[in-house]
Amino acid sequence: MPEEAIDHIDFEILNKKAISQPLVKHIYTADPSAHVFNGKIYIYPSHDIDAGEAFDDLGSHFAMEDYHVISMESINSDAVDNGLALHVNDVPWAEKQMWAPDAAHKDGKYYLFFPAKGYDGIFRIGVAVSNSPVGSFIPQPEAIKGSFSIDPAVFEDEDGSYYMYFGGLWGGQLQRWRTGIFNAEHPDSPTAHLPENNEPALNAKVVKMTNDLLEFSENPRDVVILDENGNPLLAGDNERRFFEGPWLHKYNGKYYFSYSTGDTHFICYAIGDSPYGPFTYQGKILNPVVGWTSHHSICEVDNKWYLFYHDSSLSKGVTHLRSIKVAEITYNEDGTINTLTPYKD
């Protein structure tokens, strides 16, 4: 929802109209990555704090420094904060900005994937390992070789392969990697290095992980999103093109790639036949929430599907103080997803 609209919101009324309420209220949480491990729901969000940073389009005010894992016995049970799982001070290569994470489970171990800025000011993606889904997590001493940008999401396919999807524009720096090498020119300009509106949009990246889930097994590839005519979405198509927050889930044999459109505030999705894509755009999953960002995950729980997302209603519209929520999503017979509006009329 645009910043200028927030000043006119009655948040008491808005919260009564919301289709869901914050899962936890004692801390601010955002970017929820949800999984079912051993029959229990685990949510891996970022942990919002008010660090006093000035608001800018590079995301300096998103100064998160640690992670808490939230768990739920069932979709209707209370959400439990399991305490500190990982702090930036424990990560040798990372300086600041522990943004949206994800997690995976393999052979009795749990893996927390997270972006952070190194001491050179460049976002990389790290991984930390635990014997418990709630941590604490022990980080690897270096970031994943060949990683860059933000928003890792790891998908386990039915054949036991794991794929990471990642990337985010503007403060997430994806546009600075267009040549394969970080472009440090115009560091204070969030829109430097973006393609022209009539050029193909920048894509998220996908890469298959090694068997130990600690490294990439190949070079990252583009996640291409096509329009209804089979052409790549254009950079100027900002109500449909990828911006940040990639996620992948599988439904009825099809791969669903979903993502945030960033400055237009939608969660959209596209469908493909392979984890690598290409994916054909289908529509919107979630209309804009209160707060600038929109970031989500999709998880099956007890044969129903749920969208985990966030908004800034608890903080009365403060962009960088968000709260995680959950709402059921439903599919049509043709596999399309019915669009959710976060607040009832």
Catalytic residues, by residue number, are: 31, 244
Are the CB atoms for 169 and 184 separated by under 8 Å?
A: no
Distance between CA 238 and CA 195 in Å, rounded? Answer: 12
Residue 2 CB burial class (10 angstroms; 0-12, 13-18, ≥19)? exposed
- Chain center to CA of 156: 16
- Chain center to CA of 1: 18
Q: Which 3 state secondary structure label does DSSP give 337?
A: strand
Strands 225-226 and 279-286: parallel
CA distances from 84 to 47, 68, 214, 217, 272 (A): 10, 5, 22, 30, 37
Work out the angle at residue 160's Cα, subtended by the Cα atoms of residues 157 and 166, and round it to the nearest 5 degrees. 50
